[in-house]
A and B are shown apart, each in its own frame.
Chain A
Amino acid sequence: MFYREAGDFSTTYAQDNQTFPIKFDRYRYYVVLFIAIFVIPFIINDYWANSFLLPFLIYAIAAIGLNILVGYCGQVSLGTGGFMAVGAYACYKFMTGVDIWWGGELLFRLPQFNIFFSVIMGGVMTALVGVLFGLPSLRIKGFYLAVATLAAQFFLVWLFNRVSWFYNYSASGQINAPERDLAGILITGPQTEPWATYLFCLFFTIVCAVIARNMTRGASGRKWMAIRDMDIAAEIIGVNPLRAKLTAFAVSSFFIGISGALFFSVYLGAVEVGEAFGIQKSFLVLFMIIIGGLGSIFGSFAGAAFLVLLPVVLKIVGVDMLGWPTDIVAHFQLVIVGGLIVMFLILEPHGLAQLWRVAKEKLRLWPFPH
């Protein structure tokens, strides 16, 4: 009744090109933004920030990044964990001042970056590494590429474990985020307020989502999708596969790097690379975009929310309500996640995003069935 284009006339090209052409969608978007920015920070508490909101926002960025590569450009990557680690370690190095050594002597040391720019640098460094590991994609395709990205995963984790320069020669081999503030408000370290960290992550999530949405519906997104659908045909109609694939790798890795940087500095605070950014993380983010929907920004959010909430809900139901031991609940979680992946691939290969699209289509026709 209210969800339709009728009566909503575009009079300028800008209106014609807007992200949400339907009025209801547009207002829903503003309402969600309003609640996220002006309501949640006032009612947030530590439990909700740490168990749901922060991981949701951070994984959503990673899922958007991976979705650009897998969902839009069709290059399956299993190296997300490794790329997140690059973001985290780059962020750490820039936070504490990058030191360059030559022949056993300290050549120079960059000044310590502000936390905001450290996170950005985390993204930039990851984009460079992503392009490097994306180069083989020009010759290697499909499964071979998926397996090749595992090379990035294992090599990067090994690198951060072995080269002590990356963790500033600390004895534990961990990296710990020092206390950093933005305009006097603490963002990292143990003394932070939940609303501050929440808003910091929210800012990055919104910016990343807007950039991703506009890139994917613009010229570059169309090139990626042409490559995804059939790369030889795309090449023949004039898409440069080198540029299209490498930009997809760069943009995707940039987002994944930012999410890795936030995951380390704001959410966890201290990271051991094999544990936090192992191959399980790669699969987790991949599952998010499968359940959420390949090739959909909304799907990335939905998938991230779903897989972040699932363990929380299972813990509440299994451990607190039924009183089962935690290990059984953890095993159940594996069964449920695995089962859901298979179920989604069989019943709805386009994920939660497709359910949402179907619902919108129904709304548009409502109250008529056809």
Chain B
Amino acid sequence: MNEQLAFTIEVFLNGLMAGVLYALVALGFVLIYKASGIFNYAQGVMALFAAMTLVGIQNGQVPFAHLINAIFGTDVHKFGWHVHSFAAILLTVIVMIALAWMVQQFVFKHLVGQEPIILFMATIGLAYFLEGVADLMWGSELKALNVCASEGNCLPQGMNVWLEGTTYEALGYGFFIDNLDIVASIVAAVLVAGLVIFAQYTKQGRAMRAVADDHQAALSVGVSLNFIWVLVWSLAGFVALVAGIMWGAKSGVQFSLSLIALKALPVLMLGGFTSIPGAIIGGLIIGVGEKLFEFLIGAPFLGGATENWFAYMLALVFLVFRPQGLFGEKIIERV
């Protein structure tokens, strides 16, 4: 097999894996946007917040330890226990639900009926706020995140040896793919399937779709908007937690984790803000596109690091021809 071609295919596969992670973040955006018309810039920071909370609970950190120490002159840092990963995840989910409730209760309840762009800017403010709170609660240093079912049975790290060996024997070229990426893809697939089943077959899921279709009609048949919005923010918080775990396990929990929101934005533009399949396919296109572009054109001709902007440029050019994205609802404007 041709070496160059095999290498390109490997880049392609890695792009697909990265795309799955982008899609995972974009999914959180779509959920909230469909149900409430809020374009939630804070999704990335929510992932950061969730990951930091998870690590903090796992390691038994005292919340706001630095602040307490600074005010009272004490020196507390840790409770001195370790929480099992599953219990910690459960606790983090509870925290994210509480957060969803607070966001709805204190922010967006008061902004109902405002212009979408005002809501968008409110979520930027929310993002700053959450980032500050997360740093104050758990400290801003880089933390390692590892989720273990039992001792020595953790999320896998490093590349997949089996895949490399098999492909080497079969094709004469070993593909290099991260174990974690494979796990992330499987988790993302399960999550999407779960969400679709939830939206299609449960009572709350139906109510959620009804709200997405038409707020007032949903209200008139007795759906509680407030409850649905809290539900949706909780779901987005849960998706953020999953994304936070995957990205955190890959590159550590730190501020840059919140920048994955910026990676997800072009995915949304490409796929359309209102479509779950759009988010997934958009994520895959962006993931593959930016890796291939970097490999074939960016690194050899443009001096590299094109991944930062390629996705945006692709989405921009694409939008000029199709303003609502791939799967978005057609935009109809009336005077």
Chain A contacts to B: CB under 8 angstroms: 76, 136, 139-144, 146-148, 150-151, 154-155, 157-158, 161-163, 230, 232-233, 236, 279, 283, 286-287, 290, 322-325, 327-328, 331-342, 345-346, 349
Could you say which residues of chain B place their CB within 8 Å of the CB of A157? 308
- The contact of A144 among B121, B125, B129, B269, by CB within 8 Å, is B269
Q: Are A147 and B140 in contact (CB under 8 A)?
A: no
Nearest CB on A from B17, distance (A): 22
Could you say which residues of chain B place their CB within 8 Å of the CB of A333? 132
Could you say which residues of chain A place their CB within 8 Å of the CB of B136? 328, 331-332, 335
Q: Please, how many angstroms separate the alpha-carbon atoms of A283 and B259 in the complex?
A: 14
Additional pairs, 14, CB under 8 Å, beyond known A233-B335, A325-B66? A140-B320, A154-B308, A162-B304, A232-B335, A323-B70, A324-B70, A327-B135, A328-B66, A334-B128, A334-B129, A335-B129, A341-B122, A345-B122, A349-B118
Could you say which residues of chain B place their CB within 8 Å of the CB of A340? 125
Could you say which residues of chain B place their CB within 8 Å of the CB of A139? 319-320, 323
Q: Are A148 and B315 in contact (CB under 8 A)?
A: yes
Q: Are B323 and A144 in contact (CB under 8 A)?
A: yes
The secondary structure that dominates the A interface is helix
> What are 19 inter-chain pairs, A to B, with CB distance below 8 A?
A76-B117, A136-B316, A136-B319, A140-B323, A141-B331, A144-B319, A147-B315, A148-B312, A150-B265, A151-B312, A154-B312, A232-B333, A328-B70, A332-B136, A335-B129, A338-B127, A339-B129, A341-B125, A345-B114
Interface residues of B, CB < 8 Å — how many? 52
Closest residue of chain A to B115, judged by CB?
A349
Q: Are B114 and A147 in contact (CB under 8 A)?
A: no
- The contact of B121 among A141, A142, A325, A341, by CB within 8 Å, is A341
Q: Please, how many angstroms separate the alpha-carbon atoms of A339 and B320 in the complex?
A: 35
Could you say which residues of chain B place their CB within 8 Å of the CB of A345? 111, 114, 118, 121-122, 125
Q: Are B117 and A162 in contact (CB under 8 A)?
A: no
5 nearest interchain CB pairs?
Answer: A341-B125, A338-B129, A334-B132, A338-B128, A151-B312
- The contact of B308 among A158, A336, A346, by CB within 8 Å, is A158
Q: Please, how many angstroms separate the alpha-carbon atoms of A151 and B128 in the complex?
A: 21
Nearest CB on B from A80, distance (A): 13
- The contact of A349 among B114, B306, B334, by CB within 8 Å, is B114
1/0 contact string of B117-145 vs chain A (CB within 8 Å): 11011101111111111011000100000
Could you say which residues of chain B place their CB within 8 Å of the CB of A286? 121, 124
Chain B contacts to A: CB under 8 angstroms: 39, 66-67, 70, 107, 110-111, 114, 116-118, 120-122, 124-133, 135-136, 140, 262, 265-266, 268-269, 273, 302-306, 308-309, 312-313, 315-316, 319-320, 323, 325, 331, 333-335
Q: Please, how many angstroms separate the alpha-carbon atoms of A254 and B170 in the complex?
A: 60
- The contact of B309 among A142, A151, A230, by CB within 8 Å, is A151
Q: Please, how many angstroms separate the alpha-carbon atoms of A140 and B124 in the complex?
A: 21
Nearest CB on B from A241, distance (A): 12
Q: Please, how many angstroms separate the alpha-carbon atoms of A287 and B129 in the complex?
A: 13
Nearest CB on A from B138, distance (A): 11
Q: Are A155 and B313 in contact (CB under 8 A)?
A: yes
Q: Are A162 and B116 in contact (CB under 8 A)?
A: no
Could you say which residues of chain B place their CB within 8 Å of the CB of A346? 107, 110-111, 122
Q: Please, how many angstroms separate the alpha-carbon atoms of A147 and B286 in the complex?
A: 15
Could you say which residues of chain B place their CB within 8 Å of the CB of A287? 124-125
Q: Are B140 and A331 in contact (CB under 8 A)?
A: yes
Q: Are A143 and B67 in contact (CB under 8 A)?
A: no
Q: Are B128 and A337 in contact (CB under 8 A)?
A: yes
Closest residue of chain A to B110, judged by CB?
A346
Q: Please, how many angstroms separate the alpha-carbon atoms of A178 and B114 in the complex?
A: 49
Q: Please, how many angstroms separate the alpha-carbon atoms of A150 and B309 in the complex?
A: 9
Nearest CB on A from B27, distance (A): 17
Q: Are B131 and A334 in contact (CB under 8 A)?
A: yes
- The contact of A338 among B125, B313, B325, by CB within 8 Å, is B125
